[in-house]
Amino acid sequence: MAKAQESINLIDIFSEFKDFKKIDKQTLINVLEDSFRNVIAKMYGSDANYDVIINPDKGDLEIYRNRLIMEDDDVANPETQIALSDARKLDDEAEVGEEITDKVEMASFGRRMILNLRQTLASKILELQKENLYLKYSDMLGQVVSGELYQVWKREMLLLDEEGNEMYLPKQNQIPTDFYRKGEIVRAVVVQVDNKNQNPKIILSRTSPLFLQRLFEQEVPEVKEGLIAIKNIARIPGERAKVAVETFDDRIDPVGACVGVKGARIHGIVRELRNENIDVINYTKNINLYIQRALAPAKISSMEIDEESKMAKVYLQPDEVSLAIGKGGYNIKLASMLTGYQIDVYREMSEQDLDDIYLDEFNDEIDQWVIDALKAIGLDTAKDVLGKSKEELLKQTDLEEETIDEVLRILAAEFEND
């Protein structure tokens, strides 16, 4: 009776996986049959002459053995052959040369084999779960998912989806100002699904430009319906982003539609991205106009474009330079990312500044990275730099004191010579 109970438990396991693990019925039938055949092969050397019949709806599981009837003295392999005298105990009309089938009771497997069978079944089901999880999330690459924060580590956060599957949000894929407590729901985009050693790992991101694009699709119906196309996105996560949009329907204002009345549509996106400032601009193939729009709110006086090297020299009035560069240099950096052009900003010289010199002309004496650091804070001429104290330069740049002293010496010497 104890042995029979073991077979019932196997069907219970089958039903449990069917109900809770989202694996289709036919697949589970195949797995259960394979598991039994593995055990039969281990016990008897082969499963070729066995039939495993499973009816999961009724909980029926039967095993039958097929053997060839031989004369009593000619039986060489009792697993594939049966003596005529024994065959007639099962069927009075059995004859030599015929095949006879008898039912194999679960009790004949023995307790050890039953335990082995259960372990084999559990292992195969686990493999199926992993395969299904990998396939499911591979199809969800680029989609936004939600997960409950389960644990926070130094390098990543562990989230659980609604089925309890694990998803990982690495530190570098988190917005710098992200802060969540255990149990809170986190939204992110699926960017990678690894399957190393048949062990799926789902990687999420909140810093990817694709996450911002998906948020626009959720908040702006015209984007979701394809009436407005998002052409380019540039992001400095948690700080600022620029989004270029386009429509072929003259009745639609793409920028206005994305922002919404009084910013109603974009407000939800900004909040999700921890108050990331989002600029939406009209896309154009006219690179001059595109760069002008990307550098907004600054107003450009003139521009020189080198399409081959993807470089643009932009000239502005002195009071527009700081607007073009933006706080922390974000505006010009994002404009370059958005347009694909390296943008250099130059201040237009007034008559009294004609004797000034652009910093780029000192690149034979001053390293270019030092010049770029100074230009990043709005200082693009020698007199701009000399107009600042050493203390101000130290505070506003990441340059070493020795470097700044050397720069000031070189620039001051140029005007002393004059």
Q: Which two tokens stand for residue 228?
A: 């407005």
Residue appearing with tokens 């193939």:
285
Could you report the per-residue pLDDT of 353-376, keeping only the tens digit for each?
667 888 888 988 999 999 988 888
**Cα torsion at 22, 27, 28, 31 (round to 10°)?**
-140
Which structural domains are found in the chain, ordered by start?
A: 2-135 (3.30.1480.10), 140-206 (2.40.50.140), 208-283 (3.30.300.20)
**pLDDT for 396:** 87
Work out the angle at residue 157's Cα, subtended by the Cα atoms of residues 151 and 158, and round it to the nearest 5 degrees: 60
User: What does the buried/exposed string (b/e) look like for 70-99 if buried means 16 or more CB atoms within 10 Å of the residue's CB?
Assistant: beeeebeeeebebbbebbeeeeeebeeeee
pLDDT, average across residues 400-418? 85
Q: Is the model's pLDDT at 274 over the cut of 90?
A: yes
**pLDDT for 351:** 55
Residues 6+ apart with CB under 8 A from 209: 233, 234, 235, 241
Name the 3-class secondary structure at 418: coil
Q: pLDDT over 90 for what percent of the chain?
A: 55
Q: Which two tokens stand for residue 258?
A: 């994305």
Residue 43: band (very low, low, confident or very high) from pLDDT cuts 50, 70, 90: confident
Residue 377: band (very low, low, confident or very high) from pLDDT cuts 50, 70, 90: confident
Q: Is the model's pLDDT at 24 over the cut of 80?
A: no
- CA distances, 81 to each of 10, 26, 74, 86, 262 (Å): 30, 32, 9, 10, 86
Could you report the per-residue pLDDT of 312-352, keeping only the tens digit for each?
999 998 888 889 999 888 999 999 999 999 999 888 766 55
Could you report the per-residue pLDDT of 202-231, keeping only the tens digit for each?
999 999 999 999 999 999 999 999 999 999
Q: Which two tokens stand for residue 17?
A: 């996986």
**pLDDT for 115:** 79
**pLDDT for 12:** 57
Name the 3-class secondary structure at 87: helix
**pLDDT for 38:** 83
Mean pLDDT lowest among 93-102, 119-128, 380-389: 119-128
Instruction: Give me the DSSP letters along 173-234.
Output: GS-TT----TT-EEEEEEEEEE-GGG--EEEEESSSHHHHHHHHHHH-HHHHTTSSEEEEEE
| Calpha distance 141→283 (Å, rounded) | 26
**pLDDT for 210:** 97
**pLDDT for 346:** 85
Higher pLDDT, residue 105 or 15: 105
Residue 187: band (very low, low, confident or very high) from pLDDT cuts 50, 70, 90: very high
Residues 6+ apart with CB under 8 A from 161: 145, 146, 147, 167
Q: Is the model's pLDDT at 8 over the cut of 60?
A: no
* Cβ atoms 56, 18 nearer than 8 A: yes
The answer to pTM > 0.75 is no
